[in-house]
Structure 1
Amino acid sequence: MKFKVLPVSSNVKYEQAGSIYLVVDNWNDWWEFRVLYQLFYKDERDEVIYIGSVKIGEFDMVQGQDRVNIPLEFDSLGQKFFSIGQDKYYYQNLNRMGDVFRDELLQRLNDISLNLVLFEKCTSEWVTKRALLRDIGVEKVSEEFHLLAKGDSALSNYNFKYILSKRGNEADMLHELEFITEPDSNPPTNLYAIIGRNGVGKTHLLNQMVDSLMSEGKNEVGGEFKSEIELDEGNKLFENIIYISFSAFDEAKFLKNQKGSSKQIRYSYIGLKRSLGKKSGTSKTTVKGTEERIITKSTENLRNELVESLWTCREIPSKRARLEQAIEMLNTDPVFSASGVVELLSTTSKYEETLLNFVEKERRKLKSKDKELLKNSFKKRALPLCKKFSSGHSIVLLTISKLIEELEESSLVLLDEPESHLHPPLLSTFTRILSNLLVKRNGVGIIATHSPVILQEIPRKCAWIFNRSGSNLKFERPEVETFGENINIITKEVFSFELTNSGFHKLLEDVANKTDSYQEALEYFNNELGMQARAILRALMVTEEKDK
């Protein structure tokens, strides 16, 4: 990371790409200090990104010294300097650049919102009191700015609709699915669920949503997103899309990961599929609608992907903190509690310690070769641990780790049927973790599911029941409040018709039709009925008697 100081009113557009520029500002604080800079980044695509206003202070500034003595070019500010962004937008813009960029930049500029120890040390400096904190309170630095500097995003309202055309006899009408989030709401409103029976088209709907956003407008079948809040010119509803699916039968068009820019949305895929490149006379199965060979990842592929992701998160402080918090929540599951994943993230091997101590003694930075050696050492410890997990535990840890790795501010996460690999308590914990991660990064999640357990973790206003009759679609809210509701009540609310015409309900109804009394029906089952089954049987017998 290279920093360059430019004179007042310099145009960064004409500067070299790949550097960060501090443009001098002549603003004078109380006619004593001129320590304000405008910070820009010119990326490798020659796009100039304005980060915001930053002030830089220096320890032991002498009387009459109005500017800091920073070099015109540097990789990191020396220990005698410190800096702070002048408003929350500085840190929000850094968050949009991603965790790696933000963490590195703030560390190299000795940012006192990130480093509260340094903040305490420099508060007695006159330049801090008169200039750096002129418009900023101490509490704002230690609370709001500190959270933003660590990667927690400032929450904003989302209010948008997904609009799709009705099919069949009502093709001229529209379905509108409304999604509204409220910052700091309890329970959180940033996670939505679309629930329905198998085969109604939930997965297809998620893929329509992806197509709509990636095509920046209407997709082939007419779906589109519409923000109910006016967006500033050049801003997108979402900066980042993450699609998660571990279904082996998902035949949706496979999209490669793509980097984001001012003109295109960043896209990440987490799941079972991977591309082998263009087709060339292969007999391998391909996903419909693509020219590439798409195969299902092997167990070894998935395990290596998990280890790679754990390493990536471990090396980035903010991501590592989020992963450790998530694993702490997963520890309610006995397998995770005894797995040793927390220890894997927080400890180093003797080899790693030796190498790090050697680098420190030589007073040099880690070279690429050093980092590769550390990574290989970590993999040797991580692989045996990951091999002990079941497929369900592996998938939930991989999903969370990759999500933390890819999740940036203003993300839309689309998740297809996570219950396929998880038992109910673990599914409940996973849903809470997902919601927490989305809150921290100011994102929105939409889950396609047929599990009432997920509805039990979100409020009624964040749930859509999806039904289909032939080619006609129907979307409606549950009539009961779902958050924390009894699982049987939610199941009946969503699947009432299927519930009473399948499984043990159907068997109870058949027996009630051919017996004359509740006792006779009970004896038919050898008295081996649960409390709910007995209540249903009593109700059925009363109905039968009335009909007679």
Structure 2
Amino acid sequence: MGNENLEESKGLDFKIYFVMDDIKFHPASLPAIVFSPVEDSWNDFRYKCRYKYLITFGDHRENIEGQVFLGFLSVDKNIDDSGRISLESNMVEAHELPPFFTLQGGMESYRHFVREHGAKDSELFLLALNDLVASRRVAKRSKLVEEAMKTDVFSLAFMRDSERFFAFHNADSVLDGLEREDFSRISTNLSLTYEIAGYHEHHHLDLKFDTDSILPKRISVLIGRNGLGKSQALYNIVRSLIKGDGLFSDHELGRPMISRLLAIATPGETVNTFPPERANKRIKYRRLILNRGARSKPSRGFCDLCVQLVRSEEFIGEHDRWELFKESVKFFPKIENVVIPLSKAVSVQAGHVIKDKGKHYVPLLKLDQGGEQANLEVLGAVISNANPMLYIDGDVFPLSSGQLAFIKFVVQACLFVENGTLVLLDEPETHLHPNFVSSFVRVLDRLLKLSGSISIIATHSAYFVREVTRTQVLVFKEGEGGQLNIQNPRLKTFGADVGAISYFVFEDEITNALVEDILEQFPESLESRRSLLKELDEELSADVVMYLRRKLNMEEKSEGN
């Protein structure tokens, strides 16, 4: 129902019923809202809050159906220990029960509601459902909201899931219209405290983001040599968000304002760094593989991910996810030549399907094209675990590991990111050519900006460091006495020379191994040393020469003393 029905809807006085079996119940008075508990084993700390609802008008308007999370301000004989109704008869009217309140499942649930019914009517119907997000916007409903927030069912069940927690605090902007959704409310001042073997003291790092900046300040980069705890930091972030132990926290709110968690890496690093996906009710967590993986689940194969993306009816704000994907990969080299293999031919006319040497392919960017039957057949014929190919001048070529890593990252990010997502990436440079890094960060930052999300990257690559400002870089260095220092660099990193960044970050750790033997062979006299250094200057890089000069100067001062 659109906005044109608002005036007609304002006069509605809904009769509200709670029933055990909605199929056998027909409201005696219309218009009506009928709630019935969802029959499944799901619970949060014993609370069973999932309810189906039906809004029925009894006239030319279509019924509205959906699911909500529903709780009561108190308990009585009609409500059991799980907080669910337990009626002796099949039906009871709402006024016979304690006051109730509801919440939709997440940001997309509120967006879907507004897309279906318009902003004004959506607010009207949500208020009729005693929705807490809508009720927070109405002064007369403030007592209901305050009392609901004091209940155990709200704190233990409603707020256990991060998507509902995020929606409760953020979905009010959606009710003003999808074009006015606020994408800047994710946590931007976070800290992590954790420990790793070999260090007596806990590691501690502070992460700051700016979701409104014209610079890529939605991304933080962790860099340093192996063994200092970068990957462990990502692991502990995941573990803390899953367990809710508070080790990863918001400086102001305590609990991080994060709705979803995506952990992306190469196959080996993903298994080593990120905990496996398990049934988890605290946060929606996905562990994703960045490059080709023969053992990936069928539903996680690249081509199947593309089909999921084409068929997705979800948006990121106002942006259709498939259109967002096509926009994001438009500067991928020869993207128009990237094709997806099909298991069979299409029985109807489909001019965009390519037949070559008895095999069939569809261009990636045309996966959504064709008539209804042709499109359904094409999507049904896609080989789930296949990887994309390049079709050039009648020949088919595989993508390089770097190309595949890049394009698979884009499809997964566009499919799974949501407003308020934290995206973790462990060593994404493993299969990325340095030339791809700028494009990779550009796409990532754009998706983060459009979805109101943030990202943390653990890397050894100076190419990632040069893509962000120094405030977004945390350098891991081992100090004297085995202490670990984690701090922002003094060097202005954004657009800086890669060699300068590498030298600053790794210093002696790289150069020392290369030139220690050379140093041992330097002559004793200062003049001979200078002569040899001048001779080597034509053969060695500027970083190595600088290192040698510094080491020799230190030795000269020592001799002088």
* TM-score under structure 1 length normalisation: 0.60
Q: Once the 2 structures are TM-superposed, how far is the Cα of residue 394 of structure 1 from its aligned partner?
A: 1.2
Instruction: Name the counterpart of 1:255.
Output: 276
Q: Once the 2 structures are TM-superposed, how far is the Cα of residue 375 of structure 1 from its aligned partner?
A: 0.9
Distance 1:393 1:178, change over 3 A: same
Instruction: Name the counterpart of 1:441.
Output: 451
Matches of 2:521 and 2:17, distance apart in 1: 81
Instruction: Name the counterpart of 2:183.
Output: 154
Distance 1:545 1:538, change over 3 A: same
What is the one-letter code of the residue matched to 1:448?
Answer: A
Give the 3-state SS of the residue equivalent to 1:409 in structure 2: coil
Q: Once the 2 structures are TM-superposed, how far is the Cα of residue 388 of structure 1 from its aligned partner?
A: 1.6
Distance 1:429 1:147, change over 3 A: farther
Matches of 1:472 and 1:537, distance apart in 2: 27
Q: Once the 2 structures are TM-superposed, how far is the Cα of residue 446 of structure 1 from its aligned partner?
A: 0.9
Q: Once the 2 structures are TM-superposed, how far is the Cα of residue 226 of structure 1 from its aligned partner?
A: 2.0
- CA offsets, 1:218-237, max 9 Å, x none? 5xxxxx12222337xxx862
Instruction: Name the counterpart of 1:47.
Output: 50
- CA offsets, 1:152-175, max 9 Å, x none? 75223634333325678985x654
* TM-score under structure 2 length normalisation: 0.59
Distance 1:473 1:532, change over 3 A: closer
Matches within 5 A, 1:220-299: 224-230=247-253, 237-248=257-268, 250-252=271-273, 254-256=275-277, 258=279, 264-271=282-289, 297-298=293-294
Q: Once the 2 structures are TM-superposed, how far is the Cα of residue 241 of structure 1 from its aligned partner?
A: 0.9
Q: Once the 2 structures are TM-superposed, how far is the Cα of residue 391 of structure 1 from its aligned partner?
A: 1.8
Matches of 1:179 and 1:314, distance apart in 2: 35
2:240, 2:248 within 8 Å by CA — same for their partners in 1? yes
Matches of 2:553 and 2:275, distance apart in 1: 54
1:303, 1:383 within 8 Å by CA — same for their partners in 2? no
Distance 1:477 1:253, change over 3 A: closer
Quick one: which of 445, 461, 473 aligns to 2:484? Answer: 473
1:509, 1:537 within 8 Å by CA — same for their partners in 2? yes
Matches within 5 A, 1:341-490: 344-347=363-366, 353-356=370-373, 371=376, 373-379=377-383, 383-385=388-390, 388-468=398-478, 472-490=483-501
Distance 1:537 1:215, change over 3 A: closer
Q: Once the 2 structures are TM-superposed, how far is the Cα of residue 480 of structure 1 from its aligned partner?
A: 1.5
1:73 aligns with 2:83: no
Distance 1:161 1:513, change over 3 A: farther
Distance 1:201 1:407, change over 3 A: same
2:114, 2:175 within 8 Å by CA — same for their partners in 1? no
Q: Once the 2 structures are TM-superposed, how far is the Cα of residue 411 of structure 1 from its aligned partner?
A: 1.1
1:158, 1:179 within 8 Å by CA — same for their partners in 2? no
1:258, 1:267 within 8 Å by CA — same for their partners in 2? no
Instruction: Name the counterpart of 2:239.
Output: 211
- Indicate the larger mover: 377-386 or 405-414: 377-386
Matches of 1:521 and 1:160, distance apart in 2: 48
Instruction: Name the counterpart of 1:321.
Output: 323
Give the 3-state SS of the residue equivalent to 1:400 in structure 2: helix
1:314, 1:345 within 8 Å by CA — same for their partners in 2? no
Distance 1:524 1:353, change over 3 A: closer
Q: Once the 2 structures are TM-superposed, how far is the Cα of residue 522 of structure 1 from its aligned partner?
A: 5.7
2:222, 2:458 within 8 Å by CA — same for their partners in 1? yes
1:159, 1:229 within 8 Å by CA — same for their partners in 2? no
Matches of 1:7 and 1:72, distance apart in 2: 15
- CA offsets, 1:304-329, max 9 Å, x none? 71111122223347111221222124
Matches of 2:322 and 2:212, distance apart in 1: 24
Instruction: Name the counterpart of 2:215.
Output: 187
Matches of 1:416 and 1:374, distance apart in 2: 35
Give the 3-state SS of the residue equivalent to 2:212 in structure 1: coil
2:426, 2:458 within 8 Å by CA — same for their partners in 1? yes
Matches within 5 A, 1:462-541: 462-468=472-478, 472-503=483-514, 505-506=515-516, 509-510=519-520, 512-513=522-523, 516-520=528-532, 527-530=538-541
Q: Once the 2 structures are TM-superposed, how far is the Cα of residue 389 of structure 1 from its aligned partner?
A: 0.5
Give the 3-state SS of the residue equivalent to 1:425 in structure 2: helix
Quick one: which of 92, 107, 128 aligns to 1:96? Answer: 107
What is the one-letter code of the residue matched to 2:223?
Answer: I
Q: Once the 2 structures are TM-superposed, how far is the Cα of residue 146 of structure 1 from its aligned partner?
A: 13
Give the 3-state SS of the residue equivalent to 1:480 in structure 2: coil
Give the 3-state SS of the residue equivalent to 2:447 in structure 1: helix
Matches of 2:60 and 2:387, distance apart in 1: 43
2:302, 2:408 within 8 Å by CA — same for their partners in 1? yes
- CA offsets, 1:323-353, max 9 Å, x none? 1222124x2xx4657546999344369xx63
Give the 3-state SS of the residue equivalent to 1:436 in structure 2: helix
Distance 1:467 1:42, change over 3 A: farther
Distance 1:95 1:168, change over 3 A: closer
Matches of 1:440 and 1:539, distance apart in 2: 47
Matches of 1:451 and 1:314, distance apart in 2: 34
Distance 1:106 1:490, change over 3 A: same
Matches of 1:167 and 1:353, distance apart in 2: 55
Gaps of 5+ in 2: 2-8, 24-30, 41-48, 66-103, 121-172, 313-318, 341-351, 353-361, 392-396
Count of matched residue pairs: 412
Q: Once the 2 structures are TM-superposed, how far is the Cα of residue 192 of structure 1 from its aligned partner?
A: 0.6
Q: Once the 2 structures are TM-superposed, how far is the Cα of residue 97 of structure 1 from its aligned partner?
A: 2.1
Instruction: Name the counterpart of 1:309.
Output: 305
Gaps of 5+ in 1: 19-25, 27-36, 51-66, 76-92, 113-143, 219-223, 274-295, 358-369
Distance 1:513 1:421, change over 3 A: farther
Q: Once the 2 structures are TM-superposed, how far is the Cα of residue 252 of structure 1 from its aligned partner?
A: 4.7
What is the one-letter code of the residue matched to 2:380?
Answer: N
- Indicate the larger mover: 157-166 or 378-387: 378-387
Matches of 1:545 and 1:439, distance apart in 2: 53
